[in-house]
Structure 1
Amino acid sequence: MSYEEIKQRLKGSIAPVVTPFDQDGNIDFETMKGLINWQIESGSHGISVTGTSGEPSSLTIEERKQVMKMAKETVNGRVPFVPATGSTNHAEALELTKFAQEIGADAAMVIVPYYNKPSQHALYKHFKAIADSVDIPIIIYNIPGRTAMNLEVQTMARLAEDCSNIIGVKESNKDFEHVNRVLHACGRDFLLFSGIELLCYPMLAIGGAGSISATANIVPGKVAEMHNAWFEGDVKRAQDLHFELMELNDVLFIETNPGPVKAALGMLGKITPKLRLPLDLPSEENQEKIKQTLVKYQLLSKVKS
């Protein structure tokens, strides 16, 4: 399949599935299979794993590969599969991205390296080397709030021009001017995905391809429906869903992701609510706020009925 054909498929709500653990902190693969099937059955347009919501920095390289392989097999071609393969370590990012190609992923999402704070020139070299090492499409993941580094518009445009398989970006960037300039500089066919929940709808309005939103872990159908409404030209319905989801979006980021999301999934009976240190579940006070929000959205009542 050509890059252009893949780009046509990579639209809508790409769900960034959490990595569930059992009480002992081991990966719960069977539960994860269930989450992936639930996402697809609920209408999600694609599946991503081992991104921010999947706690990649808490997983070993071998565990990340195991999760990616299991997820690819579970998705089984029903929707596009886009694992996150980035790392603060260049060699690890290369290894994981090559592995994504090996198992047949539709694309790989590669985060801007965190902690290192590389220069723009070094970032260019990092992403170009990864893109040159594989034949699958690459989606850059720009999340300055967690990496302490923003991939600037000029760098993004240079990469898009020099690397034919760098086809898009997940922008978890609250600077909406930056996001507009990225799409203008890289071309209107460059795939722009929102990683900021309150910008999922606005990014669609400027020509975005969709979102990779943690909220899809909780209400995959609603998040997918918002995208469907937009693509079908029902602007009012898309706007209504945007505002309907706002309170849930807010509470799911009351503390660092994916703590609140995992707490919510635990309340819904979907997973054992367990994270690996240094991450943890939200405070009892914040868990109560999450619970009350789920009740308000009639999500807990559906589970209990």
Structure 2
Amino acid sequence: MGNLEAVKKKLRGSIAPIITPFNEDGSIDFETLEQLINWHIESGSHAISVTGTTGEPSSLTLEERVQVMKAAVKAVNGRVPFVPGTGSTNHAETLYLTKIAQEIGADAALVIVPYYNKPSQHALYKHFKAVADSVDIPIIVYNIPGRTAVNLEVKTLAKLREDCPNIIGVKESNKDFEHVNRVLLECGRDFLLYSGIELLCYPMLAIGGAGYISATANVEPKKVAEMYNAWNAGNVQRALELHYELMPLNDVLFKDTNPAPVKAALGMMGKIKPVLRLPMDLPTQALQDEIREVLKRYVDLPEEVSSNS
């Protein structure tokens, strides 16, 4: 626990939530995963996360989640902090995955509010406290009410912060901006607040946020990281310019359920085979065409791809 403050200082900026690449047959493409991680680190992403929402964890078996975590920590090789997603709707699985994260040397674990079963606030407190008590590594709570059907209330989070020293922050995929302001008011300004809503990445920095975990970083890692760097250096104007520059890309990447548009875009860029596991699938052809047109504003697409409309 003694290194918590040191870890908190490192866990700032753009934590890139990497997709899980698949081969055409649906198996995990570990070689491409390593290539993506290297590209992100070279592009300036401040930390790497896998098996979060963007990594399709509910489409992976428990064994596959462990395999992805182990492959990722090996590829990162200590160059930047590593923060795997270890949460599940199943309490025992969450404990197991979070302990694995500690064993393999993760810098922190990102633990989602359990989805589908809609626990009470009291039950959420007991769940997260048990997870935090089971490990020594820092825990970042992940609140995404649009997917979990329950909102982790500020008072619940504040009690967890008070009772669990290794709960150091929260990823808020929460469009309620009043809620996220109150997180820092009630949990303390040193609590690490990350945006999981793309259009709130810049605004959350302005209220004292530590950074963001943005799916758009999969496509434009350099500019997403640069926005934090500009803000951190006091260049507010440049950060604001990047906020608006990234907005059309943010918009089109969320016209279908994440990570379907992101995988389509990465396929167009030649970075991955654009494969998802059912029940997820690629966007409609019409949306793919729209993604391609927006993408051309940001990256040079391979000629054979950009001409194939």
Please state which band the TM-score falls in when normalised by the shorter chain: over 0.9
> How many residues end up aligned between the 2 structures?
305
Q: Which residue of 1 aligns with 2:98?
A: 97
Q: Which residue of 2 aligns with 1:56?
A: 57
In the aligned structure 1, how far is the partner of 2:204 from the partner of 2:304?
32
Identity within the alignment, %: 74
In the aligned structure 2, how far is the partner of 1:102 from the partner of 1:16?
21
Q: Deviations over 1:263-300 (max 9, x none)?
A: 00000000000000000000000000000001122432
Q: Which residue of 1 aligns with 2:248?
A: 247
Q: Which residue of 1 aligns with 2:11?
A: 10
Q: Which residue of 1 aligns with 2:270?
A: 269
- SS, match of residue 245 in structure 1: helix
Q: Is the 8 A contact 1:295 1:301 kept in 2?
A: no
Q: Which residue of 2 aligns with 1:82?
A: 83
Q: 1:71 to 1:298 in 2, by over 3 A?
A: closer
Q: Which residue of 1 aligns with 2:186?
A: 185
Q: Which residue of 1 aligns with 2:113?
A: 112
Q: Is the 8 A contact 2:268 2:302 kept in 1?
A: no
Q: Deviations over 1:66-111 (max 9, x none)?
A: 0000100110110000000000000000000000000000000000
One-letter code aligned to 1:22: N
In the aligned structure 1, how far is the partner of 2:32 from the partner of 2:267?
12
1:237 aligns with 2:229: no
Q: Is the 8 A contact 2:270 2:302 kept in 1?
A: no
One-letter code aligned to 2:288: Q
Q: 1:304: how far off?
A: 7.7
In the aligned structure 2, how far is the partner of 1:101 from the partner of 1:300?
39
Q: Which residue of 1 aligns with 2:122?
A: 121
1:28 aligns with 2:29: yes
Q: 1:303: how far off?
A: 9.6
- SS, match of residue 300 in structure 1: coil
Q: What is the TM-score normalised by the length of structure 2?
A: 0.97
Q: Which residue of 1 aligns with 2:151?
A: 150
Q: 1:236: how far off?
A: 0.2
Q: Is the 8 A contact 1:142 1:170 kept in 2?
A: yes
In the aligned structure 2, how far is the partner of 1:181 from the partner of 1:303?
49
- SS, match of residue 139 in structure 1: strand
Q: What is the TM-score normalised by the length of structure 1?
A: 0.98
Moved over 6 A (4+): 301-305
- SS, match of residue 234 in structure 2: coil
Q: 1:2: how far off?
A: 0.8
Gaps of 5+ in 1: none
- SS, match of residue 168 in structure 1: strand
Q: Is the 8 A contact 1:268 1:303 kept in 2?
A: no
In the aligned structure 2, how far is the partner of 1:296 from the partner of 1:47?
25
1:58-73 correspondence runs (5 A): 58-73=59-74
Q: 1:301: how far off?
A: 6.2
- SS, match of residue 44 in structure 2: coil
- SS, match of residue 110 in structure 1: strand
Q: Is the 8 A contact 2:46 2:80 kept in 1?
A: yes
Gaps of 5+ in 2: none
